Structure 1
Amino acid sequence: MSLGDEGQTRTRLPEGGGDVYGGARRGGRSSSRSLITVVGVVVLLIAAIAFANRGGDDSSSSTGSVDKPKASSTAATGTKPVQSGYAHDQQGAQSAAANYATVLVSADILKPARRSEIVQQVFVTDKQAELQDKLDKAYSKDFLSNLGLDANGNATTGQTYVSRTVPVGTKTTSYLDSTASIDVWCTGLYGTAGERSTNPVTSDWFTMTLQLRWVNGDWKVDSFSQKDGPAPVPGDNKASSADEMATAVQEYGGFTYAR
């Protein structure tokens, strides 16, 4: 609650006269009764302000006409991230999906050497060979060349390739003891930062759907798909220069644990 938005509050004393913020000067007469009245008004005003600014009071009031949200309604939720493996519940499945989304749409997935490691870490064993082949075909030399990258997924000297995914939210669309389907709403950055880049860094909004399977005490990806949106109305931010974008990518590390 923000106080004072309507300008200065003027307090008029009980006896005739003036405004304490520069009105007519009061006469010298002052009774003990008027002084007590003024003190009482000030005390009540301070108490009212203190009450209005209290947050998160779980007690109910019979005089209040507006329900205030509890402090817990905006507090962080969920358990602490685990160091290895994911919890065998819906939250664990959502955490796994959010984190897998960040790596499946990253710059590392374009590098053949890192791609093999990611496939082994993310996918169920019986799908690894199939998905490795599909990803290798999708990220062919021609595809990489169109992005301004070499066969190893590296940008040319003086340029920086960017592909970062930021999960905005997750939703469980189905859940069983050993399988789960999770939608991950994402935004992200992708493109090549550099003075002569023909593929400048831009933003994107998309939703990934990941089919997960519980195997060997952990959630792993069985398959995944991607679709555009939902996308908000674009803001009016001024686009940064290529140098500013490249510097930001180098100075600000990406997140490896999303939820």
Structure 2
Amino acid sequence: MSARDELRAYLVKHRLAGPEVPTPRQNNLRHYRLFAQGDPRSLMGLGPAARRDEAAVLALMVERVGVNPDPRHTEGADSIDPDRTLDALDRLAALLRRTADRRGSVLAGTGHPNKLAGFHRALAEALEAAGCTVHTPARGTRFREPTPEGERPRYLDVLDGVLVTRALDGPDGPGRPGPGDLAHTHSPLPVRLALTALADAGHRPPDLVLGDHGWLCGAGRLGIPAGGIADCNDVAPFAAEADGLVEVVVPLEDGSAPSCYVPLSDYVLQRADLAPYNR
């Protein structure tokens, strides 16, 4: 069995892709509707031109992700085509190889710090070992993020070489972050702040941004090559990819245990011929 066939079986077994992924159809359709309505959180930093009507959003996600194409399917399981996932992982590997060949500069960040930080870290570490420069700017920078519950205070931090967002109003009270205060975010503000800090320090924009959510869309809208992961309810990264703003988006369940993504980062690094730097 080839490495691709083995990974396809792994994706389906762990429901990272396949006919029944954890994100239910009703959740997907709700997010598709919000994107069509121009909800800022759903746009993840994209401009109004990225919007599509609900039928066009569903068509986009059928094409890019492999969700169920039937608009009458409104509840229950939905799907991610594992072959689309594998094809995108191959494209991500090619993007890493091109970045390594030019000894480019890299910025890695995630809006899913409890889930995907390890995946992005493995790729960034391999690129750094291959001669790339990995930047971690703007650590400690504070900002306010709009959320459905109102604006919340946040700050940027670095988790093992990956930029993440932390809450300032954590379990120990406002302004006193405590353990477990990593914040899930769709916002493009973190990547904008990181890029501003790089520029202020005299650096040119990075040659590659690795990430998800607003990290992909925020970088892509500024013309910076970006690649990473998006779930079947995250329309914006796939719209950005379709519009030529983002290089590669891997359709993948993004809420599984961090260890589930290790075989995927291993596969990408092997395909990029960066595997010796993976450990």
TM-score normalised by L of structure 1: 0.23
- Higher-Rg structure is 1
Per residue, is there more helix in 1 or in 2?
A: 2
TM-score normalised by L of structure 2: 0.22
